[in-house]
Structure 1
Amino acid sequence: DYDREQFAENSVPLLIIGTKFDQIPENKRNDVLTRTAFLSEDFNAEEINL
């Protein structure tokens, strides 16, 4: 478990990489993007999808 507030004050850069997004069925991609948006919000981070 992690404490959301603990990471909010952390100034260490984080890089989270996911792969094979192109292999997710089109009808499920929006769900995956929504989850990653919540994750980046939890870490108070920018989100870039390539």
Structure 2
Amino acid sequence: MCQEPGRATECDIIAAPTLIKDEPPPSRRMVGDLSDRPKVLSNLAIVGGSK
């Protein structure tokens, strides 16, 4: 968003950090602490991605 601040308004983002997953549906959002990778992947319904 720092590179495209106008997109924050378009996406109704009022807090940072905000992570948005639009594809594949359903769309999901996560706001706040993104440091717990397994929690982020689980909340966004992303399978795999373990590193």
Write 1 or 2 for the structure with the bigger share of strand: 2
Greater RCO, CA 8 A, separation 6+: 1
